[in-house]
Structures are given as C-alpha cells and as structure tokens.
Amino acid sequence: MVNQLGNYSLYIALLISIFIIIKTSLSFRNSSNVLSGNIFSLISVQSLMVIISFLTLIYAFVTSDFSNETVYNNSHTTKPLFYKVSGTWGNHEGSLLLWLLVLTIFLFLFTIDSKNLSQRYRTLTLFFQEIIILGFLLFILFTSNPFANIFPIPSEGTGLNPILQDPALAIHPPILYLGYVGTSIIFSSALGAIISGSINKSWASHIKRWVLISWVFLSIGILLGSIWAYYELGWGGFWFWDPVENVSLMPWLCLTALLHTVFTLEKRGTFQSWTIILSITTFSLSMSGTFLVRSGILNSIHTFANDPSRGVFILCFLFVLIFISIFIYFFYQKKITVSSTKTFLISKETAVLINNLFMMFFLSVVLIGTVYPIFLEVINNEKISIGPPFYHKLIIPFLIPFLFFMAIGPNIKWIKDKMEKINLKDIFIFIISIVISYIFVNKFGVSYLLSLPLFIFSLFLFFVTIRDFFGKNINISQKISHFGFSLLILSILLNGVLAKEHSSNMRVGDEIKFLDKIIQFQNIEVIKKQNYQTLIGEFNIVDKNNSLSLKPEIRIYDQPETITSEADISTTIFADNFLVFNIIKNDGFYNVRYQIKPFMIWIWISVLLISLGGILSLKKKNV
C-alpha cells in the first residue's frame, strides 16, 4: 500500500506537469503582471507529490520492504540504518527520483524568488522547466520506476555495493545533484529571457544567484567525490580523469565561465549572447553527463546502469531540448539588445573574455578525452582508454598563460585601463617567484613538461592573491575564491612532485625499509561487524624521531559478497601518510602500499575556500 502511494504520487505529478505546460502555453498572450495563483498552487502540489514519493521510497528502504524491486536490488536487512537511507539514492532509480525532487523544489523556489520580475518571463521559464520535469517523470515512470513490485516477495535483499556504503558518498550525490539541477533553472530562465526580450542587467542580477548556487553545490559535490575516491578506492589519489569524474568537471568549467560573464552582464550590460550560449551549454553538459552515466556507455566505478534503452530515452530527450534551445536562440536573437558601450583592449571585460576562452579550451580537452573513446569504439569496435598524460600534455601549456592572466585580470579596471605605469610590486613578486621556483625545481629534480614556468606562474598567482587582500576596494568574495584556486593549483603541483610511494608483499612480522623509514607489519585482528567481517592490519612506520601507527582494513561483506580495502590515513598540515593493504593468493602474504602525499589537506581546504567565495557572493549585489 505504501509502495503504491509513491507510485500514484508520481502519476499525479505527471498530470500536473502536463496541465501546467498547457496552462502556461495558453497564458503567453496574457499581459497581466501577476502570475496566476492557480499555477503557483499547482507547482506547490506537484512538489508535495514528489516529496511524498521520495519519502515513500525512503520508508521502503528503512523497513526493508522487499516487495519493492529497487529495495530488493539495493538493500539488505543487516545494513546499518544510515546506509539504508542513503541507499535510496545509491542506485539508478532512486537517484533519478532524487534528481526529480530537486527539479521540482528548485522550480517552487524560483517561482517565489522571481515574484518581482515580469509575468511573461516567469511564465516562459516555468513552461520550459516543466518540460524538463515532464521528461524526467516519463523517464522514471516508464523506464526506471523505483516502485516496481516483485512477486513472490523475497525474504532478503541482495544488498548495496559496499564501496557505496560510506558517509562521504552518502551525501555526495544529493549535493552534486543540487549543482546539476540548478543548471536547469539557468537553462529555462535563459530561454524565457530571450523570448521575452529580458536579457539585461536586471535579469543578470536575478539569474546570478542561481548560477552561484549551482556552482557552489557542484564544487562541494566534486570535492566530496574526490575525498571519497582518495580514501575509499585505495588508489591514493584524488583525481584520476575517470570519465564520470570528467562529466562533472565539464559543467563546472562552463559554470565558471558563465559566472564571470553574468557578473559582467550585470555590471556593464555586455556579453548578452555569450551568456545565453553558456547557459544552454552548461545544462546540455549536465544532461549529457546523465546520459553517459545512465546508459552504461562509460566504463566506470561510478556508473549506475547498463541499459541502452534508458540511454536512448535520455539521448532523445536531450536532443529535443538542445534543438529547441538552438532554434529559440537563432529565431529570437534579434530581441537581444546589443550594448553600445565601447570595450577597450585593456579592460576587465577583455580579461573576462580571455578567462572564458581558456575555460572553453579546458572544457574541449576534457570533452574530447571523454567521448573520443566512445566514438572510436562505435566506428571500428576498438576499445581505448585515455589517461592523465593526455590531459596533462594538452592542459599544462595553456594553464601557464591562464595563471598569468588570472593574476593580473582582477585588478584591471572596467571599460579602459592604462598600462603606462609599471607596477614595481608585481615585478618584485614575479622575480621572487622565479627564484623560489628555480631553487625548488633544481633541488627536487623536477623534469616534467614545462615544470619551471608552471611553478613560476603558480607561485606568482599565489603571492598576488595574498597581496590583493591588503589592497583598496577589496571584493572579499572574489579574493577568497581566487586565492582558493591559486592554493589548489600550488597544492596539486607540490603533491605531484613530492609524493613518494612503496609497494611490496608482506607477511605479519615482516619489516621493509623505505627512504629513511621502516614499515613494520605487526599483527592482524579479525572483528565481526553488523554486515561484514573486517581484518585490521597493525602497521608501524618508524623513523629516527618517532613512530606512527596505521591500521588499514580489509572488509569482507556478506551481502553482496565483496572484498574492499579501507586505507588508514594520518593527516598533518604538511603531508598525509597513506597505507592500504590487500589480500593476495599466497601463503599469508598481503600486498602493502604505503604513500606519502604532501599537502593533501590543502587541496581540500582550497576547494572549500573557492566555494566559500561563491557563498559570500550570494550576499553581494555587485561584482
């Protein structure tokens, strides 16, 4: 009965969506400045229906209702309560329902937030947003219904993938989806604004908040995914250029470019057409990522489903949305009022444009690296994988000038600036950056691609962003985000150069020397937990001054029968000591991997600072 409540709620939401689309399409000619109260009431009821549906699915997971096929495939009675709840969205069907939930709630909030804007613009935005909601409702109900019944009712479920049973990954999808789904509001708003002729400073000021919200949530969502991959997968890294990692990075790059153009549009009334193009592209990338993950085309640990029919549905839906948006853009482009303000070469507007060009290049590299293996396999059935060397060789040469322009761009004036005056402070900072980088590169024998200029401009940006905190007319939100980005780049560089690793096969009682340390394998303890058995290894890392105890785990899950490795990480402000061990088929031997990962915590902190800058910008009216 409860299971059917969630199903019927979705059908009610579907009928409401169809009715709203009809009603809004008929009201385009309405010149009233007030949005129909009936439409707002319908949106409220629709949101309530989806909330009820989602809570119903949570209840089914918590009570282990195995008459629900989704619960049967992704839960088990021995699973802890926290992972029963998070298991709601830890699968294909539940994650789509979560996506729909965020879609409807965001539309409800948008309706309230936009009450002071024109009725025509609001109605058009609601119309396009409801088309997206209708598409997801049809997708869920007819290809991925989370309330499908199973009979006879099994006494036990198959369980959730053990690597998904982790606190970071439990909150990672909801936060990431808030970023993804926020781009749908930007998309619908852009189409509504271009048809109603509302691409102006007022619209930019309104939509800027939604761009910031999406950008902040997407940044934090990517951060949580990186942290999870770092300690849960046991690979000892935070980014692997995995295809599903890439499909979350691409909309982030596009959102970052859009964020700068929206600020410029709000301040100067320029980049109207480019802002619309970026708004459409950002949402298209979010939907493309959904298609690639749900279709099973990508081979990744992150993928949910392997059902081509589901992928075809999303692909067709995405094609329709893109076709409609392109048609609207070209048909109504004449309504875009081009600013008559002259833009000079040396100005902040030019700096924003250069920023956008770099972002588009980085986006293109990631896009090609992600989809090229797919097209190659389709054309000649040849499977290839594109790894970090591809991205490093293409991105690093262009990252160097990008860092330079990022250092000088924020301090350039709007409209026109003069370059006659030489900033002696910047020259001094640049010289210091050269000296430090040269000493560092020579001391540690760094020899990879363009290492010296990369370190020089990374340090230059880092020092400049610190100096900017003490300047006049401080835009604190911008300074924090830019400083966070400079810290991120520098931390990644230092982490890559100074990281050390040792891997060997060991038995209890063995000792191995690594650098100036001794790795001691002291003992193994076996403990029975609620839904798994854990082997806890006891290791000592001994050097001349101290001893560090690390206790990684090997977990053997019951349902499903899976073996996972849990790294133990000792974190300081300077470095992480990372140790993981795995079972190998040999007499008492285990593969032990020990890594020293410098400045890892600063990578996490830097992304938090980037996001903090975005949060603070939500309270500001101007750039």
* pLDDT for residue 155 is more than 70: yes
DSSP annotation of 115 reads: T
**C-alpha dihedral sign at 526, 527, 533, 536:** negative
Tokens of 310: 């589901």
pLDDT at 39: 87
Count other Cβ atoms within 10 Å, centred on residue 18: 12
Find the mean pLDDT for residues 4-23.
93
Confidence of residue 55 (pLDDT cuts 50, 70, 90): very high
* pLDDT for residue 198 is more than 90: no
pLDDT at 419: 58
pLDDT at 169: 75
Confidence of residue 447 (pLDDT cuts 50, 70, 90): confident
CA–CA separation, 270 and 415 (whole Å): 11
* pLDDT for residue 60 is more than 50: yes
DSSP annotation of 63 reads: T
Instruction: Please give the backbone phi and psi of residue 337, each rounded to the nearest 5 degrees, phi first.
Output: -85, 110
**Bigger pLDDT: 446 or 582?**
582
Confidence of residue 622 (pLDDT cuts 50, 70, 90): very low
Find the mean pLDDT for residues 173-192.
92
* pLDDT for residue 297 is more than 70: no
CA–CA separation, 98 and 82 (whole Å): 17
* pLDDT for residue 623 is more than 50: no
Closest CA to 500 of 605, 579, 602: 579
Closest CA to 281 of 251, 308, 244: 251
* pLDDT for residue 302 is more than 70: no
The share of the chain scoring above pLDDT 90, in percent, equals: 51
Half-sphere exposure of 529 (CA within 13 A, CB side): 16
**Bigger pLDDT: 78 or 391?**
391
Q: What is the tens place of the pLDDT at every residue in 393-408?
A: 999 999 999 999 999 8
* pLDDT for residue 318 is more than 80: yes
pLDDT at 245: 87
Count other Cβ atoms within 10 Å, centred on residue 171: 15
Confidence of residue 564 (pLDDT cuts 50, 70, 90): confident
Residues 6+ away with beta carbon under 8 Å from 496: none
609 contacts 470 by C-beta, under 8 angstroms: no
Q: What is the tens place of the pLDDT at every residue in 525-560?
A: 999 887 788 999 999 999 887 899 999 999 888 767
CA–CA separation, 453 and 195 (whole Å): 47
pLDDT at 565: 86
Longest distance between any two alpha carbons in the chain, whole Å? 82
Closest CA to 139 of 303, 20, 13, 283: 13
In one-letter notation, the amino acid at residue 390 is: F
Q: What is the tens place of the pLDDT at every residue in 95-105?
A: 899 999 999 99
The share of the chain scoring above pLDDT 70, in percent, equals: 90
Q: What is the tens place of the pLDDT at every residue in 217-253?
A: 999 999 998 998 888 776 668 888 888 889 899 999 9
CA–CA separation, 509 and 194 (whole Å): 71
pTM reported for the whole predicted model:
0.92
448-462 as b/e, with b when 16 or more CB fall inside 10 Å? eeebebbbbbbbbbb
Residue reference for tokens 């560090």: 548
pLDDT at 424: 79
Highest-scoring range by mean pLDDT, 79-88, 412-421, 475-484: 475-484
**Bigger pLDDT: 38 or 127?**
127
Burial of 411 (0-12, 13-18, 19+ CB in 10 A): middle
pLDDT at 144: 87
Average pLDDT, the chain: 87
